[in-house]
Structure 1
Amino acid sequence: MNPSAKKAVIILSGGLDSTTCMGIARDRGYELYPLTFDYGQRHRIELDNARKVAEHYGVSGRHKVVKLDFLREIGGSALTDDSIDVPDMTAPGAADTAASEIPITYVPGRNLMFLSIATSYAEVLAAEAIFIGVNALDYSGYPDCRPEFIAKVEDVIKYATKIGVEGKPISIETPLVNWTKADIIREGMRLGVPYELTTSCYNGREAACGVCDSCRLRLKGFAEAGCRDPISYETR
Protein backbone atom coordinates (compact mmCIF):
# COMPACT_ATOMS: atom_id res chain seq x y z
CA MET A 1 0.00 0.00 0.00
CA ASN A 2 1.32 3.42 -0.99
CA PRO A 3 0.36 6.10 1.60
CA SER A 4 0.62 8.81 -1.04
CA ALA A 5 -1.45 7.01 -3.69
CA LYS A 6 -4.87 8.36 -4.54
CA LYS A 7 -7.60 6.03 -3.35
CA ALA A 8 -11.04 5.15 -4.67
CA VAL A 9 -13.91 3.16 -3.23
CA ILE A 10 -15.46 1.02 -5.97
CA ILE A 11 -19.07 -0.08 -5.48
CA LEU A 12 -18.58 -3.59 -6.85
CA SER A 13 -21.61 -5.79 -7.49
CA GLY A 14 -19.81 -8.43 -9.52
CA GLY A 15 -21.69 -7.33 -12.63
CA LEU A 16 -20.45 -6.05 -15.95
CA ASP A 17 -20.74 -2.32 -15.24
CA SER A 18 -19.18 -2.23 -11.78
CA THR A 19 -16.34 -4.49 -12.89
CA THR A 20 -15.66 -2.15 -15.81
CA CYS A 21 -15.48 0.66 -13.26
CA MET A 22 -12.79 -1.32 -11.43
CA GLY A 23 -10.78 -1.50 -14.61
CA ILE A 24 -11.23 2.20 -15.34
CA ALA A 25 -10.28 3.24 -11.80
CA ARG A 26 -7.16 1.08 -11.99
CA ASP A 27 -6.30 2.59 -15.38
CA ARG A 28 -6.65 6.08 -13.89
CA GLY A 29 -4.08 5.23 -11.24
CA TYR A 30 -6.33 4.76 -8.22
CA GLU A 31 -5.63 2.38 -5.38
CA LEU A 32 -8.75 0.19 -5.34
CA TYR A 33 -10.99 -0.40 -2.33
CA PRO A 34 -13.93 -2.52 -3.54
CA LEU A 35 -17.16 -2.44 -1.54
CA THR A 36 -19.89 -5.03 -2.12
CA PHE A 37 -23.38 -5.12 -0.62
CA ASP A 38 -25.17 -8.27 0.47
CA TYR A 39 -28.73 -6.95 0.62
CA GLY A 40 -30.55 -10.26 0.32
CA GLN A 41 -30.67 -9.99 -3.45
CA ARG A 42 -32.16 -12.86 -5.42
CA HIS A 43 -29.04 -12.95 -7.59
CA ARG A 44 -26.68 -13.75 -4.70
CA ILE A 45 -24.29 -15.41 -7.13
CA GLU A 46 -22.98 -11.90 -7.81
CA LEU A 47 -21.36 -11.86 -4.35
CA ASP A 48 -19.08 -14.71 -5.38
CA ASN A 49 -18.38 -12.95 -8.66
CA ALA A 50 -17.40 -9.77 -6.82
CA ARG A 51 -14.92 -11.75 -4.70
CA LYS A 52 -13.41 -13.27 -7.85
CA VAL A 53 -13.11 -9.83 -9.46
CA ALA A 54 -11.39 -8.41 -6.36
CA GLU A 55 -8.99 -11.34 -6.44
CA HIS A 56 -8.31 -10.76 -10.14
CA TYR A 57 -7.27 -7.17 -9.39
CA GLY A 58 -5.13 -8.25 -6.43
CA VAL A 59 -7.20 -6.46 -3.80
CA SER A 60 -8.94 -9.33 -1.99
CA GLY A 61 -7.53 -8.12 1.30
CA ARG A 62 -9.25 -4.75 0.88
CA HIS A 63 -12.56 -6.10 -0.36
CA LYS A 64 -15.36 -5.40 2.11
CA VAL A 65 -18.80 -7.00 1.98
CA VAL A 66 -21.52 -5.11 3.85
CA LYS A 67 -24.67 -6.97 4.91
CA LEU A 68 -27.93 -5.01 4.62
CA ASP A 69 -30.87 -7.14 5.70
CA PHE A 70 -33.25 -4.19 5.65
CA LEU A 71 -33.75 -4.12 1.88
CA ARG A 72 -34.97 -7.72 1.89
CA GLU A 73 -37.13 -7.09 4.94
CA ILE A 74 -39.05 -4.30 3.22
CA GLY A 75 -39.14 -6.03 -0.18
CA GLY A 76 -40.98 -4.14 -2.90
CA SER A 77 -38.70 -5.40 -5.67
CA ALA A 78 -38.36 -8.58 -7.69
CA LEU A 79 -34.73 -8.64 -6.58
CA THR A 80 -35.52 -8.71 -2.85
CA ASP A 81 -39.01 -10.25 -2.64
CA ASP A 82 -39.39 -13.90 -3.63
CA SER A 83 -43.13 -13.43 -4.17
CA ILE A 84 -42.43 -11.10 -7.13
CA ASP A 85 -41.21 -12.74 -10.33
CA VAL A 86 -38.38 -11.32 -12.40
CA PRO A 87 -40.01 -10.38 -15.74
CA ASP A 88 -39.24 -12.46 -18.81
CA MET A 89 -38.43 -9.80 -21.42
CA THR A 90 -39.09 -12.22 -24.27
CA ALA A 91 -42.74 -12.58 -23.23
CA PRO A 92 -45.37 -10.81 -25.37
CA GLY A 93 -45.80 -7.16 -24.34
CA ALA A 94 -42.95 -7.20 -21.82
CA ALA A 95 -40.81 -4.73 -23.77
CA ASP A 96 -43.70 -2.27 -24.12
CA THR A 97 -44.38 -2.38 -20.38
CA ALA A 98 -40.70 -1.89 -19.57
CA ALA A 99 -40.53 1.16 -21.82
CA SER A 100 -43.40 2.90 -20.04
CA GLU A 101 -42.85 2.03 -16.37
CA ILE A 102 -40.10 1.90 -13.77
CA PRO A 103 -39.57 -1.86 -13.64
CA ILE A 104 -40.33 -4.12 -10.71
CA THR A 105 -36.60 -4.92 -10.46
CA TYR A 106 -36.00 -1.39 -9.13
CA VAL A 107 -34.89 -1.67 -5.46
CA PRO A 108 -36.22 1.30 -3.44
CA GLY A 109 -33.39 3.46 -2.10
CA ARG A 110 -30.63 1.05 -3.08
CA ASN A 111 -28.11 3.40 -4.65
CA LEU A 112 -28.87 6.12 -2.12
CA MET A 113 -28.03 3.68 0.68
CA PHE A 114 -24.98 2.29 -1.13
CA LEU A 115 -23.55 5.76 -1.74
CA SER A 116 -24.13 6.80 1.87
CA ILE A 117 -22.14 3.83 3.17
CA ALA A 118 -19.48 4.22 0.50
CA THR A 119 -19.12 7.86 1.55
CA SER A 120 -18.48 6.84 5.15
CA TYR A 121 -15.84 4.37 4.03
CA ALA A 122 -14.24 6.85 1.65
CA GLU A 123 -14.01 9.47 4.38
CA VAL A 124 -12.27 7.05 6.76
CA LEU A 125 -9.83 6.05 4.01
CA ALA A 126 -9.29 9.68 2.95
CA ALA A 127 -10.25 8.48 -0.52
CA GLU A 128 -10.73 11.03 -3.26
CA ALA A 129 -13.44 9.26 -5.18
CA ILE A 130 -16.27 6.74 -5.21
CA PHE A 131 -16.83 4.86 -8.48
CA ILE A 132 -20.31 3.58 -9.26
CA GLY A 133 -21.41 1.95 -12.51
CA VAL A 134 -24.68 3.80 -13.08
CA ASN A 135 -25.78 4.27 -16.66
CA ALA A 136 -28.43 6.59 -18.09
CA LEU A 137 -28.60 5.15 -21.64
CA ASP A 138 -28.76 1.35 -21.81
CA TYR A 139 -30.40 0.93 -18.43
CA SER A 140 -33.70 -0.25 -17.02
CA GLY A 141 -35.27 3.11 -16.16
CA TYR A 142 -34.11 3.27 -12.55
CA PRO A 143 -34.37 6.80 -11.10
CA ASP A 144 -31.21 6.33 -9.02
CA CYS A 145 -29.06 5.78 -12.13
CA ARG A 146 -29.59 9.28 -13.53
CA PRO A 147 -26.92 12.03 -13.58
CA GLU A 148 -29.33 14.32 -11.71
CA PHE A 149 -29.43 11.90 -8.79
CA ILE A 150 -25.64 11.58 -8.66
CA ALA A 151 -25.19 15.37 -8.75
CA LYS A 152 -27.58 15.81 -5.81
CA VAL A 153 -25.83 13.15 -3.72
CA GLU A 154 -22.42 14.62 -4.50
CA ASP A 155 -23.70 18.01 -3.34
CA VAL A 156 -25.03 16.52 -0.10
CA ILE A 157 -21.63 14.94 0.61
CA LYS A 158 -20.08 18.42 0.67
CA TYR A 159 -22.37 19.36 3.56
CA ALA A 160 -22.70 16.04 5.37
CA THR A 161 -19.05 15.09 5.87
CA LYS A 162 -16.08 16.49 7.76
CA ILE A 163 -13.93 16.23 4.66
CA GLY A 164 -16.54 18.15 2.66
CA VAL A 165 -16.78 20.94 5.21
CA GLU A 166 -12.99 21.19 5.16
CA GLY A 167 -13.11 21.82 1.42
CA LYS A 168 -11.93 18.43 0.19
CA PRO A 169 -15.16 16.80 -0.99
CA ILE A 170 -15.32 13.24 -2.28
CA SER A 171 -16.21 13.01 -5.96
CA ILE A 172 -18.66 10.43 -7.26
CA GLU A 173 -17.19 9.08 -10.48
CA THR A 174 -19.67 7.72 -13.03
CA PRO A 175 -17.53 6.97 -16.08
CA LEU A 176 -20.24 4.84 -17.74
CA VAL A 177 -23.17 7.19 -17.27
CA ASN A 178 -23.48 8.34 -20.88
CA TRP A 179 -22.16 5.22 -22.63
CA THR A 180 -24.13 2.55 -24.39
CA LYS A 181 -23.62 -1.00 -23.19
CA ALA A 182 -21.56 -1.61 -26.33
CA ASP A 183 -19.33 1.37 -25.48
CA ILE A 184 -18.83 0.00 -21.98
CA ILE A 185 -17.87 -3.43 -23.28
CA ARG A 186 -15.45 -2.04 -25.86
CA GLU A 187 -13.66 -0.02 -23.18
CA GLY A 188 -13.63 -3.01 -20.86
CA MET A 189 -12.12 -5.21 -23.53
CA ARG A 190 -9.43 -2.59 -24.14
CA LEU A 191 -8.60 -2.60 -20.43
CA GLY A 192 -8.67 -6.37 -20.10
CA VAL A 193 -11.67 -6.40 -17.77
CA PRO A 194 -12.43 -10.04 -16.78
CA TYR A 195 -16.00 -10.30 -18.04
CA GLU A 196 -15.82 -14.08 -17.69
CA LEU A 197 -15.91 -13.53 -13.89
CA THR A 198 -19.02 -11.35 -13.97
CA THR A 199 -22.75 -11.92 -14.03
CA SER A 200 -25.67 -9.67 -14.91
CA CYS A 201 -28.61 -12.04 -14.52
CA TYR A 202 -31.36 -11.04 -12.12
CA ASN A 203 -32.45 -14.65 -11.59
CA GLY A 204 -29.10 -15.63 -10.10
CA ARG A 205 -28.76 -19.12 -11.49
CA GLU A 206 -25.42 -20.72 -12.33
CA ALA A 207 -26.04 -20.10 -16.02
CA ALA A 208 -27.58 -16.70 -16.80
CA CYS A 209 -31.24 -16.94 -17.82
CA GLY A 210 -30.87 -14.87 -21.00
CA VAL A 211 -34.43 -13.52 -20.76
CA CYS A 212 -34.43 -10.99 -17.91
CA ASP A 213 -33.94 -7.30 -18.70
CA SER A 214 -30.36 -7.27 -17.47
CA CYS A 215 -29.37 -10.32 -19.53
CA ARG A 216 -31.02 -8.89 -22.64
CA LEU A 217 -29.17 -5.58 -22.27
CA ARG A 218 -25.89 -7.38 -21.74
CA LEU A 219 -26.31 -9.67 -24.74
CA LYS A 220 -27.35 -6.73 -26.91
CA GLY A 221 -24.24 -4.83 -25.81
CA PHE A 222 -21.89 -7.67 -26.65
CA ALA A 223 -23.54 -8.15 -30.04
CA GLU A 224 -23.24 -4.44 -30.87
CA ALA A 225 -19.63 -4.40 -29.69
CA GLY A 226 -18.87 -7.30 -32.03
CA CYS A 227 -17.82 -9.60 -29.19
CA ARG A 228 -19.12 -12.87 -27.76
CA ASP A 229 -20.17 -12.82 -24.13
CA PRO A 230 -17.85 -15.28 -22.31
CA ILE A 231 -20.40 -16.42 -19.70
CA SER A 232 -22.90 -19.29 -20.00
CA TYR A 233 -26.61 -18.76 -20.70
CA GLU A 234 -29.62 -21.02 -20.48
CA THR A 235 -30.89 -19.31 -23.61
CA ARG A 236 -29.51 -16.56 -25.81
Structure 2
Amino acid sequence: MSKPRAVILLSGGLDSATVLAIARSQGFDCYALSFDYGQRHKAELDACRRIASDLGAVEHRVLSIGLGEFGGSALTDLDLAVPDKQEPGIPITYVPARNTVFLSLALGYAEVIGAWDIFIGVNAVDYSGYPDCRPAFIKAFEQMANVATKAAVEGEEQLHVRAPLMDLSKADIIRMGARLGVDYGLTVSCYQADEAGRACGICDSCRLRAEGFRAARIADPTPYQKKNTKS
Protein backbone atom coordinates (compact mmCIF):
# COMPACT_ATOMS: atom_id res chain seq x y z
CA MET A 1 0.00 0.00 0.00
CA SER A 2 1.17 3.52 -0.76
CA LYS A 3 1.99 5.84 2.10
CA PRO A 4 -0.35 8.70 3.03
CA ARG A 5 0.78 12.07 1.77
CA ALA A 6 1.37 15.20 3.81
CA VAL A 7 2.30 18.77 2.99
CA ILE A 8 5.05 20.16 5.22
CA LEU A 9 5.55 23.90 5.54
CA LEU A 10 9.33 24.23 5.44
CA SER A 11 10.94 27.55 6.40
CA GLY A 12 14.56 26.46 6.69
CA GLY A 13 14.67 26.82 10.47
CA LEU A 14 15.10 24.14 13.10
CA ASP A 15 11.39 23.90 13.95
CA SER A 16 10.20 23.14 10.43
CA ALA A 17 13.10 20.73 9.86
CA THR A 18 12.05 18.85 12.98
CA VAL A 19 8.45 18.74 11.79
CA LEU A 20 9.54 17.27 8.45
CA ALA A 21 11.45 14.58 10.32
CA ILE A 22 8.42 13.89 12.54
CA ALA A 23 6.08 13.53 9.57
CA ARG A 24 8.52 11.18 7.86
CA SER A 25 8.84 9.10 11.05
CA GLN A 26 5.04 8.79 11.16
CA GLY A 27 5.01 7.14 7.76
CA PHE A 28 4.02 10.04 5.51
CA ASP A 29 5.32 10.75 2.04
CA CYS A 30 6.37 14.35 2.59
CA TYR A 31 5.74 17.15 0.12
CA ALA A 32 7.66 20.20 1.33
CA LEU A 33 6.46 23.71 0.56
CA SER A 34 8.54 26.87 1.06
CA PHE A 35 7.99 30.52 0.22
CA ASP A 36 10.01 33.34 -1.24
CA TYR A 37 7.76 36.01 0.22
CA GLY A 38 10.03 39.06 0.20
CA GLN A 39 11.95 38.19 3.35
CA ARG A 40 15.18 40.00 4.28
CA HIS A 41 17.44 37.21 3.08
CA LYS A 42 17.30 34.14 0.87
CA ALA A 43 19.69 32.01 2.95
CA GLU A 44 16.70 30.30 4.54
CA LEU A 45 15.53 29.15 1.10
CA ASP A 46 18.92 27.55 0.47
CA ALA A 47 18.48 25.87 3.85
CA CYS A 48 15.04 24.61 2.80
CA ARG A 49 16.51 22.90 -0.22
CA ARG A 50 19.23 21.26 1.84
CA ILE A 51 16.80 20.05 4.49
CA ALA A 52 14.24 18.71 2.00
CA SER A 53 16.95 16.71 0.27
CA ASP A 54 18.58 15.46 3.47
CA LEU A 55 15.29 14.37 5.05
CA GLY A 56 13.94 12.69 1.94
CA ALA A 57 11.03 14.88 0.88
CA VAL A 58 9.26 13.38 -2.13
CA GLU A 59 8.92 16.85 -3.61
CA HIS A 60 9.96 20.35 -2.62
CA ARG A 61 8.34 23.44 -4.09
CA VAL A 62 9.25 27.08 -3.54
CA LEU A 63 6.48 29.56 -4.31
CA SER A 64 7.07 33.27 -4.85
CA ILE A 65 4.46 35.53 -3.27
CA GLY A 66 4.52 39.27 -2.68
CA LEU A 67 4.04 39.71 1.06
CA GLY A 68 7.04 42.03 1.02
CA GLU A 69 5.09 44.51 -1.10
CA PHE A 70 2.90 45.29 1.90
CA GLY A 71 5.76 45.81 4.34
CA GLY A 72 4.68 46.22 7.93
CA SER A 73 7.32 43.86 9.29
CA ALA A 74 11.03 44.05 9.99
CA LEU A 75 11.35 40.78 8.09
CA THR A 76 10.00 42.28 4.85
CA ASP A 77 10.82 46.01 5.14
CA LEU A 78 14.50 46.94 5.17
CA ASP A 79 13.62 50.34 6.65
CA LEU A 80 12.52 48.63 9.85
CA ALA A 81 15.25 47.35 12.15
CA VAL A 82 15.24 43.84 13.55
CA PRO A 83 15.24 44.34 17.35
CA ASP A 84 18.20 43.05 19.34
CA LYS A 85 16.15 42.31 22.45
CA GLN A 86 12.79 40.79 23.22
CA GLU A 87 9.92 43.25 22.93
CA PRO A 88 6.69 43.29 24.95
CA GLY A 89 3.60 42.32 22.99
CA ILE A 90 3.65 41.27 19.34
CA PRO A 91 7.07 42.24 17.94
CA ILE A 92 7.89 44.11 14.73
CA THR A 93 9.16 40.82 13.24
CA TYR A 94 5.56 39.58 12.96
CA VAL A 95 4.63 39.36 9.26
CA PRO A 96 0.93 40.25 8.83
CA ALA A 97 -1.17 37.20 7.92
CA ARG A 98 1.91 35.15 6.96
CA ASN A 99 0.83 31.79 8.37
CA THR A 100 -2.73 32.31 7.13
CA VAL A 101 -1.41 32.79 3.60
CA PHE A 102 1.09 29.94 3.88
CA LEU A 103 -1.50 27.49 5.19
CA SER A 104 -4.00 28.52 2.53
CA LEU A 105 -1.52 27.73 -0.23
CA ALA A 106 -0.54 24.49 1.52
CA LEU A 107 -4.24 23.61 1.62
CA GLY A 108 -4.54 24.03 -2.14
CA TYR A 109 -1.42 21.94 -2.67
CA ALA A 110 -2.76 19.24 -0.34
CA GLU A 111 -6.08 19.08 -2.14
CA VAL A 112 -4.40 18.64 -5.52
CA ILE A 113 -2.04 15.85 -4.43
CA GLY A 114 -4.60 14.04 -2.30
CA ALA A 115 -3.06 14.82 1.09
CA TRP A 116 -5.23 15.02 4.20
CA ASP A 117 -2.53 16.33 6.50
CA ILE A 118 -0.63 19.62 6.65
CA PHE A 119 2.25 19.96 9.09
CA ILE A 120 3.45 23.31 10.44
CA GLY A 121 6.17 24.06 12.99
CA VAL A 122 4.41 26.66 15.11
CA ASN A 123 5.12 26.61 18.81
CA ALA A 124 3.32 28.28 21.73
CA VAL A 125 6.08 27.86 24.34
CA ASP A 126 9.36 29.28 23.02
CA TYR A 127 7.82 31.57 20.42
CA SER A 128 7.99 35.28 19.69
CA GLY A 129 4.42 36.26 20.53
CA TYR A 130 2.94 35.84 17.07
CA PRO A 131 -0.85 35.38 17.03
CA ASP A 132 -0.66 32.92 14.13
CA CYS A 133 1.46 30.51 16.18
CA ARG A 134 -1.23 29.85 18.77
CA PRO A 135 -3.48 26.78 19.20
CA ALA A 136 -6.66 28.80 18.62
CA PHE A 137 -5.42 29.86 15.18
CA ILE A 138 -4.50 26.33 14.14
CA LYS A 139 -7.85 24.98 15.30
CA ALA A 140 -9.77 27.74 13.49
CA PHE A 141 -7.87 27.20 10.25
CA GLU A 142 -8.49 23.46 10.35
CA GLN A 143 -12.21 24.07 10.84
CA MET A 144 -12.23 26.47 7.90
CA ALA A 145 -10.34 24.01 5.70
CA ASN A 146 -13.02 21.39 6.25
CA VAL A 147 -15.80 23.61 4.94
CA ALA A 148 -13.83 25.38 2.20
CA THR A 149 -12.52 22.53 0.05
CA LYS A 150 -14.07 20.09 -2.36
CA ALA A 151 -11.94 17.31 -0.91
CA ALA A 152 -13.36 17.77 2.57
CA VAL A 153 -16.95 18.50 1.56
CA GLU A 154 -17.27 15.59 -0.88
CA GLY A 155 -14.69 13.26 0.64
CA GLU A 156 -14.93 10.73 3.42
CA GLU A 157 -12.01 12.14 5.42
CA GLN A 158 -11.25 15.32 7.31
CA LEU A 159 -8.29 17.59 6.66
CA HIS A 160 -5.91 17.94 9.58
CA VAL A 161 -3.53 20.78 10.36
CA ARG A 162 -0.89 19.22 12.57
CA ALA A 163 1.35 21.30 14.84
CA PRO A 164 3.37 18.65 16.70
CA LEU A 165 5.70 21.17 18.34
CA MET A 166 2.96 23.33 19.83
CA ASP A 167 3.54 22.43 23.48
CA LEU A 168 7.28 21.73 23.38
CA SER A 169 10.13 23.91 24.59
CA LYS A 170 12.91 24.72 22.15
CA ALA A 171 15.17 22.28 24.01
CA ASP A 172 12.53 19.53 23.69
CA ILE A 173 12.26 20.22 19.97
CA ILE A 174 16.02 19.98 19.50
CA ARG A 175 16.23 16.75 21.47
CA MET A 176 13.43 15.23 19.42
CA GLY A 177 14.99 16.30 16.15
CA ALA A 178 18.36 14.92 17.19
CA ARG A 179 16.74 11.54 17.89
CA LEU A 180 15.14 11.64 14.43
CA GLY A 181 18.40 12.43 12.70
CA VAL A 182 17.93 16.12 11.91
CA ASP A 183 21.19 17.83 10.96
CA TYR A 184 20.67 21.26 12.53
CA GLY A 185 23.81 22.48 10.82
CA LEU A 186 21.73 22.63 7.63
CA THR A 187 19.15 24.99 9.15
CA VAL A 188 18.98 28.80 9.27
CA SER A 189 16.86 30.47 11.96
CA CYS A 190 18.29 34.00 12.08
CA TYR A 191 16.06 36.92 11.08
CA GLN A 192 19.01 38.70 9.47
CA ALA A 193 21.42 36.00 8.35
CA ASP A 194 24.03 36.96 5.76
CA GLU A 195 24.18 35.47 2.26
CA ALA A 196 26.21 32.54 3.55
CA GLY A 197 23.54 31.76 6.14
CA ARG A 198 25.62 32.91 9.10
CA ALA A 199 23.54 34.09 12.06
CA CYS A 200 23.67 37.54 13.66
CA GLY A 201 23.61 36.07 17.17
CA ILE A 202 21.54 38.93 18.61
CA CYS A 203 17.98 38.74 17.20
CA ASP A 204 15.13 37.07 19.07
CA SER A 205 15.25 33.98 16.88
CA CYS A 206 18.98 33.56 17.47
CA ARG A 207 18.46 33.97 21.21
CA LEU A 208 15.75 31.33 21.38
CA ARG A 209 17.80 28.96 19.25
CA ALA A 210 20.99 29.35 21.29
CA GLU A 211 19.12 28.96 24.58
CA GLY A 212 17.48 25.82 23.22
CA PHE A 213 20.76 24.14 22.39
CA ARG A 214 22.20 25.08 25.78
CA ALA A 215 19.16 23.70 27.61
CA ALA A 216 19.19 20.53 25.49
CA ARG A 217 22.90 20.09 26.20
CA ILE A 218 23.53 19.57 22.52
CA ALA A 219 26.35 21.33 20.67
CA ASP A 220 25.08 24.32 18.70
CA PRO A 221 26.16 23.95 15.05
CA THR A 222 25.09 27.50 14.11
CA PRO A 223 27.69 29.51 12.17
CA TYR A 224 27.80 33.11 13.41
CA GLN A 225 28.90 36.31 11.75
CA LYS A 226 32.24 37.45 13.12
CA LYS A 227 31.03 40.97 13.90
CA ASN A 228 28.12 39.76 16.02
CA THR A 229 29.19 36.45 17.53
CA LYS A 230 27.13 35.28 20.45
CA SER A 231 28.42 35.86 23.96
1:143 lines up with 2:125 in the alignment: no
Q: State the Cα RMSD in Å.
A: 1.1
1:225 aligns with 2:223: no
**Which residue, 186, 196, 207 being the options, matches 2:185?**
196
Structure 1 counterpart SS, 2:185: helix
Tell me, in whole angstroms, the C-alpha distance in 1 between the residues paired with 2:153 and 2:105.
18
For the pair 1:114 / 2:102, whether they are aligned, the reply is yes
Aligned residues of 2:55 and 2:182 also touching (Cα < 8 A): no
Structure 2 gap segments, 5+ residues each: none
Query: Residue 157 of structure 2 aligns to a residue in which SS?
Result: coil
Aligned-residue offset at 1:225? 0.2
Give the 3-state SS of the residue equivalent to 1:41 in structure 2: coil
Counterparts of residues 1-236 of structure 1 (less than 5 Å): 4-59=2-57, 62-69=59-66, 71-89=67-85, 95=86, 98=87, 100-166=88-154, 167-205=156-194, 206=196, 207-234=198-225, 235-236=229-230
CA drift of 1:169 comes to 2.1
Q: CA deviation at 1:43?
A: 2.9
Shift of 1:54: 1.1
CA distance in 2, matches of 1:169, 1:118: 15
Alpha-carbon distance between aligned partners in 2 of 1:107 and 1:181, rounded to the nearest angstrom: 21
The code of the aligned residue for 2:59 comes to: R
- Code of the residue aligned with 2:37 in structure 1: it is Y
1: CA distance, partners of 2:56 / 2:97? 31
Offset at residue 168 of structure 1 (A)? 1.8
- The alignment partner of 1:63 has SS state of strand
Q: CA deviation at 1:228?
A: 1.4
Distance 1:68 1:49 in 2: 18
- For 2:206 and 2:222, the matched residues in 1 are separated by 11
Q: How far does residue 159 in structure 1 lie from its aligned partner after superposition?
A: 0.5
What runs of 5+ residues in structure 1 fail to find an aligned partner?
90-94
Calculate the TM-score normalised by the size of structure 1.
0.92
Determine helix, strand or coil for the equivalent of 2:222: coil
Contact 2:171-2:216 within 8 A present in 1 as well:
yes
Aligned AA (1:173): R
- State how many pairs are aligned: 224
- Return the letter of the residue paired with 1:151: K
Residues 50-77 of structure 1: per-residue CA shift (max 9 Å, x gap)? 0011111233x611000002x1100000
TM-score (structure 2 length as normaliser): 0.94
